[in-house]
Structure 1
Amino acid sequence: MKKWITSAAILAAAFFVYAAPAANAAEGVSAEHGSWLLLMFFTINFVLFVSVLVYFAGPPLRKFFADRAVTIRTALSRLQSALAAAEDLANKAAARMAALSAELKQVADELEQETAFQVGKVKDLAKSTAERIRRDAETSHYAMAEAAKRRVRAQLAESAATVARDLISRNFQPNDQSRLIDGFMDKLGGGDPR
Protein backbone atom coordinates (compact mmCIF):
# COMPACT_ATOMS: atom_id res chain seq x y z
CA MET A 1 0.00 0.00 0.00
CA LYS A 2 2.81 2.40 0.85
CA LYS A 3 4.46 1.74 -2.48
CA TRP A 4 1.23 2.57 -4.28
CA ILE A 5 0.86 5.87 -2.38
CA THR A 6 4.45 6.77 -3.06
CA SER A 7 4.09 6.01 -6.77
CA ALA A 8 0.92 8.14 -6.93
CA ALA A 9 2.66 11.03 -5.21
CA ILE A 10 5.59 10.88 -7.63
CA LEU A 11 3.20 10.81 -10.65
CA ALA A 12 1.22 13.74 -9.24
CA ALA A 13 4.38 15.75 -8.68
CA ALA A 14 5.50 15.04 -12.23
CA PHE A 15 2.05 15.93 -13.55
CA PHE A 16 1.94 19.19 -11.57
CA VAL A 17 5.29 20.19 -12.96
CA TYR A 18 3.95 19.89 -16.50
CA ALA A 19 0.41 21.06 -15.68
CA ALA A 20 1.38 24.37 -14.13
CA PRO A 21 3.03 25.88 -17.21
CA ALA A 22 0.15 24.56 -19.36
CA ALA A 23 -2.41 26.22 -17.04
CA ASN A 24 -0.56 29.50 -17.15
CA ALA A 25 -0.35 29.36 -20.92
CA ALA A 26 -4.11 28.74 -21.11
CA GLU A 27 -4.87 31.74 -18.88
CA GLY A 28 -2.56 33.94 -20.86
CA VAL A 29 -0.09 34.46 -18.04
CA SER A 30 3.46 34.41 -19.21
CA ALA A 31 6.10 32.43 -17.42
CA GLU A 32 8.24 35.53 -17.20
CA HIS A 33 5.85 37.40 -14.92
CA GLY A 34 5.17 34.32 -12.81
CA SER A 35 2.05 33.49 -10.89
CA TRP A 36 1.09 32.39 -7.49
CA LEU A 37 -0.29 29.22 -8.88
CA LEU A 38 3.03 28.36 -10.50
CA LEU A 39 4.85 29.10 -7.26
CA MET A 40 2.41 26.92 -5.37
CA PHE A 41 2.90 24.02 -7.82
CA PHE A 42 6.70 24.26 -7.53
CA THR A 43 6.44 24.43 -3.74
CA ILE A 44 4.15 21.42 -3.57
CA ASN A 45 6.36 19.59 -6.02
CA PHE A 46 9.44 20.37 -3.91
CA VAL A 47 7.71 19.36 -0.67
CA LEU A 48 6.55 16.09 -2.21
CA PHE A 49 10.02 15.44 -3.57
CA VAL A 50 11.63 16.08 -0.21
CA SER A 51 9.05 13.97 1.66
CA VAL A 52 9.50 11.06 -0.78
CA LEU A 53 13.23 11.43 -0.50
CA VAL A 54 13.08 11.49 3.31
CA TYR A 55 10.63 8.60 3.41
CA PHE A 56 12.59 6.31 1.10
CA ALA A 57 16.15 7.51 1.40
CA GLY A 58 16.00 8.57 5.06
CA PRO A 59 16.31 5.18 6.80
CA PRO A 60 19.14 3.92 4.54
CA LEU A 61 20.88 7.27 4.88
CA ARG A 62 20.47 7.21 8.66
CA LYS A 63 21.73 3.63 8.73
CA PHE A 64 24.66 4.53 6.45
CA PHE A 65 25.63 7.54 8.55
CA ALA A 66 25.16 5.58 11.80
CA ASP A 67 27.34 2.76 10.46
CA ARG A 68 29.84 5.29 9.19
CA ALA A 69 29.89 7.02 12.60
CA VAL A 70 30.44 3.67 14.32
CA THR A 71 33.24 2.87 11.87
CA ILE A 72 34.82 6.29 12.42
CA ARG A 73 34.52 5.99 16.21
CA THR A 74 35.99 2.48 16.11
CA ALA A 75 38.86 3.62 13.89
CA LEU A 76 39.39 6.70 16.05
CA SER A 77 39.50 4.65 19.27
CA ARG A 78 41.82 2.12 17.63
CA LEU A 79 44.07 4.93 16.36
CA GLN A 80 44.06 6.59 19.77
CA SER A 81 45.09 3.32 21.42
CA ALA A 82 47.75 2.84 18.73
CA LEU A 83 48.94 6.41 19.34
CA ALA A 84 49.11 5.76 23.08
CA ALA A 85 51.03 2.51 22.44
CA ALA A 86 53.39 4.32 20.05
CA GLU A 87 53.97 7.10 22.59
CA ASP A 88 54.62 4.48 25.25
CA LEU A 89 57.09 2.70 22.96
CA ALA A 90 58.75 6.03 22.13
CA ASN A 91 59.10 6.82 25.84
CA LYS A 92 60.51 3.34 26.50
CA ALA A 93 62.90 3.71 23.56
CA ALA A 94 64.05 7.12 24.85
CA ALA A 95 64.58 5.65 28.33
CA ARG A 96 66.44 2.69 26.83
CA MET A 97 68.61 5.05 24.76
CA ALA A 98 69.45 7.02 27.91
CA ALA A 99 70.24 3.77 29.73
CA LEU A 100 72.36 2.59 26.80
CA SER A 101 74.20 5.89 26.76
CA ALA A 102 74.96 5.57 30.48
CA GLU A 103 75.93 1.92 30.01
CA LEU A 104 78.19 2.86 27.08
CA LYS A 105 79.91 5.50 29.22
CA GLN A 106 80.35 2.98 32.03
CA VAL A 107 81.80 0.37 29.65
CA ALA A 108 84.15 2.99 28.19
CA ASP A 109 85.30 3.95 31.70
CA GLU A 110 85.82 0.31 32.65
CA LEU A 111 87.70 -0.32 29.41
CA GLU A 112 89.91 2.71 30.06
CA GLN A 113 90.61 1.54 33.62
CA GLU A 114 91.36 -2.00 32.42
CA THR A 115 93.64 -0.64 29.70
CA ALA A 116 95.50 1.51 32.24
CA PHE A 117 95.81 -1.51 34.54
CA GLN A 118 97.11 -3.73 31.74
CA VAL A 119 99.54 -1.03 30.58
CA GLY A 120 100.84 -0.70 34.16
CA LYS A 121 101.12 -4.46 34.43
CA VAL A 122 103.03 -4.70 31.13
CA LYS A 123 105.25 -1.80 32.25
CA ASP A 124 106.02 -3.52 35.56
CA LEU A 125 106.67 -6.80 33.74
CA ALA A 126 108.98 -5.01 31.28
CA LYS A 127 110.85 -3.38 34.18
CA SER A 128 111.26 -6.70 36.00
CA THR A 129 112.33 -8.42 32.78
CA ALA A 130 114.84 -5.66 32.05
CA GLU A 131 116.17 -5.93 35.61
CA ARG A 132 116.45 -9.71 35.30
CA ILE A 133 118.22 -9.37 31.96
CA ARG A 134 120.60 -6.82 33.51
CA ARG A 135 121.29 -9.15 36.46
CA ASP A 136 121.76 -12.08 34.10
CA ALA A 137 124.11 -9.98 31.98
CA GLU A 138 126.09 -8.94 35.06
CA THR A 139 126.22 -12.53 36.27
CA SER A 140 127.27 -13.70 32.84
CA HIS A 141 129.83 -10.91 32.69
CA TYR A 142 131.30 -11.85 36.08
CA ALA A 143 131.22 -15.53 35.19
CA MET A 144 132.90 -14.86 31.87
CA ALA A 145 135.46 -12.59 33.57
CA GLU A 146 136.18 -15.26 36.20
CA ALA A 147 136.40 -17.92 33.52
CA ALA A 148 138.77 -15.68 31.55
CA LYS A 149 140.83 -15.06 34.69
CA ARG A 150 140.99 -18.81 35.36
CA ARG A 151 141.99 -19.46 31.76
CA VAL A 152 144.63 -16.71 31.97
CA ARG A 153 145.90 -18.12 35.31
CA ALA A 154 145.92 -21.61 33.89
CA GLN A 155 147.70 -20.33 30.81
CA LEU A 156 150.13 -18.42 33.01
CA ALA A 157 150.66 -21.43 35.28
CA GLU A 158 151.21 -23.64 32.27
CA SER A 159 153.56 -21.09 30.73
CA ALA A 160 155.38 -20.69 34.08
CA ALA A 161 155.65 -24.46 34.46
CA THR A 162 157.02 -24.74 30.95
CA VAL A 163 159.50 -21.95 31.56
CA ALA A 164 160.44 -23.45 34.98
CA ARG A 165 160.90 -26.87 33.44
CA ASP A 166 163.08 -25.42 30.75
CA LEU A 167 165.10 -23.46 33.32
CA ILE A 168 165.41 -26.43 35.64
CA SER A 169 166.42 -28.76 32.88
CA ARG A 170 169.01 -26.29 31.66
CA ASN A 171 170.41 -25.05 34.98
CA PHE A 172 169.82 -27.95 37.36
CA GLN A 173 172.97 -29.89 38.32
CA PRO A 174 173.13 -33.30 39.95
CA ASN A 175 174.39 -31.86 43.26
CA ASP A 176 171.37 -29.47 43.28
CA GLN A 177 169.17 -32.48 43.11
CA SER A 178 170.73 -34.16 46.12
CA ARG A 179 170.64 -30.94 48.10
CA LEU A 180 166.91 -30.50 47.35
CA ILE A 181 166.15 -34.05 48.37
CA ASP A 182 168.12 -33.66 51.62
CA GLY A 183 166.32 -30.42 52.43
CA PHE A 184 163.02 -32.01 51.74
CA MET A 185 163.78 -34.98 53.93
CA ASP A 186 164.92 -32.72 56.74
CA LYS A 187 161.66 -30.85 56.60
CA LEU A 188 159.74 -34.05 56.72
CA GLY A 189 161.75 -35.49 59.52
CA GLY A 190 161.64 -32.29 61.56
CA GLY A 191 165.34 -31.85 61.28
CA ASP A 192 167.29 -28.62 61.25
CA PRO A 193 165.80 -26.30 58.71
CA ARG A 194 168.14 -24.13 56.71
Structure 2
Amino acid sequence: MTIRRVLCSFGPIVLPVAAWAAGPASHGGHEDHGGIPWTTLFFTFVNFGLFVWLLARYVWPQVRLWLRERHTAVVQELEAAAQARREAEQLRAQWQERLNKVNEEIARLKEQVEADLARERERVLEHARKTAETIRKDAERTVAAEMRRLEEELRAELVRHAVEIAREIVRRHWSSADQHRTVEEFARQVQS
Protein backbone atom coordinates (compact mmCIF):
# COMPACT_ATOMS: atom_id res chain seq x y z
CA MET A 1 0.00 0.00 0.00
CA THR A 2 1.48 3.33 -0.97
CA ILE A 3 1.48 6.66 0.92
CA ARG A 4 -0.83 8.10 -1.65
CA ARG A 5 -3.39 5.42 -0.92
CA VAL A 6 -3.07 6.01 2.80
CA LEU A 7 -3.54 9.76 2.35
CA CYS A 8 -6.44 9.20 0.00
CA SER A 9 -8.01 6.84 2.50
CA PHE A 10 -7.46 8.87 5.65
CA GLY A 11 -7.20 12.41 4.17
CA PRO A 12 -10.95 13.04 4.07
CA ILE A 13 -11.12 12.15 7.75
CA VAL A 14 -7.94 13.87 8.98
CA LEU A 15 -8.43 17.29 7.27
CA PRO A 16 -11.84 18.10 8.74
CA VAL A 17 -10.64 16.93 12.13
CA ALA A 18 -7.58 19.21 11.86
CA ALA A 19 -9.75 22.19 10.87
CA TRP A 20 -12.08 21.59 13.71
CA ALA A 21 -9.14 21.24 16.13
CA ALA A 22 -7.82 24.67 15.01
CA GLY A 23 -11.16 26.29 15.84
CA PRO A 24 -10.57 27.06 19.56
CA ALA A 25 -7.09 28.44 18.89
CA SER A 26 -8.59 31.11 16.64
CA HIS A 27 -10.82 32.31 19.51
CA GLY A 28 -8.02 33.89 21.48
CA GLY A 29 -6.37 30.76 22.69
CA HIS A 30 -9.20 29.91 25.01
CA GLU A 31 -10.17 26.39 24.85
CA ASP A 32 -13.45 25.09 25.91
CA HIS A 33 -12.69 22.65 28.68
CA GLY A 34 -15.95 20.85 28.34
CA GLY A 35 -15.46 20.08 24.64
CA ILE A 36 -13.46 17.63 22.60
CA PRO A 37 -9.66 17.91 22.80
CA TRP A 38 -9.14 18.43 19.09
CA THR A 39 -5.39 18.58 19.18
CA THR A 40 -5.18 15.27 20.95
CA LEU A 41 -7.69 13.81 18.55
CA PHE A 42 -5.71 15.15 15.59
CA PHE A 43 -2.46 13.63 16.81
CA THR A 44 -4.24 10.40 17.60
CA PHE A 45 -5.47 10.25 14.00
CA VAL A 46 -2.01 11.14 12.71
CA ASN A 47 -0.51 8.46 14.92
CA PHE A 48 -3.12 6.00 13.73
CA GLY A 49 -2.47 6.98 10.11
CA LEU A 50 1.27 6.47 10.57
CA PHE A 51 0.58 3.14 12.25
CA VAL A 52 -1.61 2.04 9.35
CA TRP A 53 0.99 3.29 6.86
CA LEU A 54 3.76 1.33 8.67
CA LEU A 55 1.56 -1.74 8.71
CA ALA A 56 0.76 -1.32 5.04
CA ARG A 57 4.38 -0.65 4.12
CA TYR A 58 6.22 -3.29 6.16
CA VAL A 59 3.82 -5.78 7.71
CA TRP A 60 1.13 -6.18 5.05
CA PRO A 61 3.57 -7.41 2.32
CA GLN A 62 4.81 -10.09 4.71
CA VAL A 63 1.25 -11.01 5.65
CA ARG A 64 0.27 -11.14 1.96
CA LEU A 65 3.33 -13.27 1.23
CA TRP A 66 2.42 -15.59 4.11
CA LEU A 67 -1.20 -15.72 2.91
CA ARG A 68 -0.07 -16.52 -0.65
CA GLU A 69 2.28 -19.22 0.64
CA ARG A 70 -0.45 -20.57 2.88
CA HIS A 71 -2.92 -20.49 0.00
CA THR A 72 -0.41 -22.28 -2.23
CA ALA A 73 0.31 -24.83 0.51
CA VAL A 74 -3.41 -25.45 1.09
CA VAL A 75 -4.02 -25.81 -2.67
CA GLN A 76 -1.06 -28.19 -2.94
CA GLU A 77 -2.27 -30.19 0.05
CA LEU A 78 -5.76 -30.35 -1.45
CA GLU A 79 -4.29 -31.46 -4.78
CA ALA A 80 -2.12 -34.02 -2.97
CA ALA A 81 -5.17 -35.24 -1.05
CA ALA A 82 -7.15 -35.47 -4.29
CA GLN A 83 -4.25 -37.34 -5.92
CA ALA A 84 -3.99 -39.64 -2.90
CA ARG A 85 -7.74 -40.24 -3.10
CA ARG A 86 -7.49 -41.04 -6.83
CA GLU A 87 -4.59 -43.40 -6.14
CA ALA A 88 -6.53 -45.00 -3.29
CA GLU A 89 -9.54 -45.44 -5.60
CA GLN A 90 -7.28 -46.96 -8.26
CA LEU A 91 -5.72 -49.24 -5.67
CA ARG A 92 -9.15 -50.21 -4.37
CA ALA A 93 -10.30 -50.90 -7.94
CA GLN A 94 -7.17 -52.98 -8.59
CA TRP A 95 -7.71 -54.99 -5.41
CA GLN A 96 -11.39 -55.40 -6.24
CA GLU A 97 -10.40 -56.66 -9.68
CA ARG A 98 -7.88 -59.03 -8.13
CA LEU A 99 -10.50 -60.23 -5.66
CA ASN A 100 -12.94 -60.80 -8.51
CA LYS A 101 -10.25 -62.71 -10.41
CA VAL A 102 -9.50 -64.78 -7.29
CA ASN A 103 -13.22 -65.51 -6.89
CA GLU A 104 -13.42 -66.48 -10.57
CA GLU A 105 -10.33 -68.67 -10.18
CA ILE A 106 -11.84 -70.32 -7.09
CA ALA A 107 -15.07 -70.98 -8.99
CA ARG A 108 -13.11 -72.35 -11.96
CA LEU A 109 -11.00 -74.58 -9.70
CA LYS A 110 -14.13 -75.76 -7.90
CA GLU A 111 -15.73 -76.69 -11.23
CA GLN A 112 -12.53 -78.40 -12.33
CA VAL A 113 -12.30 -80.36 -9.06
CA GLU A 114 -15.96 -81.36 -9.36
CA ALA A 115 -15.38 -82.46 -12.96
CA ASP A 116 -12.23 -84.37 -11.94
CA LEU A 117 -14.14 -86.02 -9.10
CA ALA A 118 -16.97 -86.98 -11.46
CA ARG A 119 -14.47 -88.45 -13.93
CA GLU A 120 -12.65 -90.28 -11.13
CA ARG A 121 -15.95 -91.57 -9.74
CA GLU A 122 -16.92 -92.83 -13.21
CA ARG A 123 -13.49 -94.41 -13.64
CA VAL A 124 -13.74 -96.13 -10.25
CA LEU A 125 -17.30 -97.28 -10.97
CA GLU A 126 -16.26 -98.59 -14.39
CA HIS A 127 -13.30 -100.39 -12.82
CA ALA A 128 -15.63 -101.80 -10.17
CA ARG A 129 -18.09 -102.91 -12.89
CA LYS A 130 -15.30 -104.58 -14.84
CA THR A 131 -13.93 -106.21 -11.69
CA ALA A 132 -17.41 -107.38 -10.72
CA GLU A 133 -17.97 -108.72 -14.25
CA THR A 134 -14.61 -110.51 -14.14
CA ILE A 135 -15.42 -111.96 -10.72
CA ARG A 136 -18.88 -113.01 -11.96
CA LYS A 137 -17.42 -114.66 -15.07
CA ASP A 138 -14.73 -116.37 -12.98
CA ALA A 139 -17.40 -117.54 -10.56
CA GLU A 140 -19.55 -118.81 -13.44
CA ARG A 141 -16.56 -120.65 -14.92
CA THR A 142 -15.67 -122.04 -11.51
CA VAL A 143 -19.27 -123.09 -10.87
CA ALA A 144 -19.51 -124.60 -14.38
CA ALA A 145 -16.23 -126.46 -13.90
CA GLU A 146 -17.34 -127.64 -10.48
CA MET A 147 -20.70 -128.71 -11.93
CA ARG A 148 -18.93 -130.68 -14.68
CA ARG A 149 -16.61 -132.24 -12.13
CA LEU A 150 -19.55 -133.10 -9.89
CA GLU A 151 -21.50 -134.47 -12.87
CA GLU A 152 -18.52 -136.60 -13.85
CA GLU A 153 -18.12 -137.81 -10.27
CA LEU A 154 -21.85 -138.46 -10.09
CA ARG A 155 -21.80 -140.32 -13.43
CA ALA A 156 -18.75 -142.28 -12.32
CA GLU A 157 -20.48 -143.06 -9.04
CA LEU A 158 -23.69 -143.98 -10.88
CA VAL A 159 -21.74 -146.17 -13.29
CA ARG A 160 -19.92 -147.82 -10.42
CA HIS A 161 -23.17 -148.38 -8.56
CA ALA A 162 -24.84 -149.60 -11.74
CA VAL A 163 -21.96 -151.99 -12.35
CA GLU A 164 -22.15 -153.23 -8.77
CA ILE A 165 -25.90 -153.64 -9.03
CA ALA A 166 -25.51 -155.36 -12.39
CA ARG A 167 -22.87 -157.72 -10.96
CA GLU A 168 -25.05 -158.47 -8.07
CA ILE A 169 -28.01 -159.14 -10.37
CA VAL A 170 -25.87 -161.21 -12.71
CA ARG A 171 -24.43 -163.16 -9.87
CA ARG A 172 -27.84 -163.87 -8.46
CA HIS A 173 -29.67 -164.58 -11.70
CA TRP A 174 -26.95 -165.62 -14.09
CA SER A 175 -26.86 -169.27 -14.90
CA SER A 176 -24.42 -171.34 -16.90
CA ALA A 177 -26.93 -171.57 -19.77
CA ASP A 178 -27.09 -167.75 -19.85
CA GLN A 179 -23.34 -167.61 -19.91
CA HIS A 180 -23.12 -170.13 -22.75
CA ARG A 181 -25.76 -168.34 -24.84
CA THR A 182 -23.98 -164.94 -24.31
CA VAL A 183 -20.65 -166.35 -25.46
CA GLU A 184 -22.22 -167.83 -28.65
CA GLU A 185 -23.96 -164.60 -29.43
CA PHE A 186 -20.71 -162.69 -28.97
CA ALA A 187 -18.88 -165.11 -31.26
CA ARG A 188 -21.51 -164.69 -34.02
CA GLN A 189 -21.23 -160.96 -33.84
CA VAL A 190 -17.50 -161.15 -34.11
CA GLN A 191 -17.70 -163.44 -37.18
CA SER A 192 -20.18 -161.33 -39.02
For the residue of structure 2 that corresponds to 1:74, the secondary structure is helix
Partner of 1:155 in structure 2?
157
Structure 1 residues 108 and 34: CA distance shift in structure 2, 3 A: farther
Provide closer, same or farther for how the CA distance between residues 40 and 174 of structure 1 changes in structure 2, counting only shifts above 3 A.
farther
Q: Identity rate of aligned residues, in percent?
A: 27
State how far apart, in whole Å, the 2-side matches of 1:102 and 1:88 are: 21
Residue 52 (structure 1) aligns with: 54
Q: CA deviation at 1:168?
A: 6.8
RMSD, aligned CA: 4.0
Match of 2:191 in 1: 191
Question: Aligned equivalents of 1:29 and 1:120: distance in 2?
Answer: 123
Q: 1:44 to 1:169 in 2, by over 3 A?
A: farther
Tell me the amino acid that sits aligned with residue 126 of structure 2.
D
Task: State the TM-score, normalizing by the size of structure 2.
Answer: 0.57
One-letter amino acid of the structure 1 residue matched with residue 66 of structure 2: F
Q: Which moved more, 1:124-133 or 1:159-168?
A: 159-168
Mind listing any 5+ residue stretches in structure 2 that lack a counterpart?
1-30
Paired amino acid for 1:148: L
Q: CA deviation at 1:86?
A: 1.9
Distance 1:36 1:181, change over 3 A: farther
1:84 aligns with 86
147 and 37 in structure 1: CA distance in 2 versus 1, 3 angstrom threshold: farther
**What count of residue pairs does the alignment treat as equivalent?**
163
Which runs of 5 or more residues in structure 1 are unaligned? 1-26
2:191 match: secondary structure: coil
In the alignment, what sits opposite 2:122? Answer: 120
Q: CA deviation at 1:101?
A: 4.1
Cα pair distance change 1:34/1:101, threshold 3 Å? farther
Q: Which of 1 and 2 has higher RCO (CA within 8 Å, sep 6+)?
A: 2
Query: CA 1:29 to 1:120, structure 2 compared with 1: closer, same or farther past 3 Å?
Result: farther
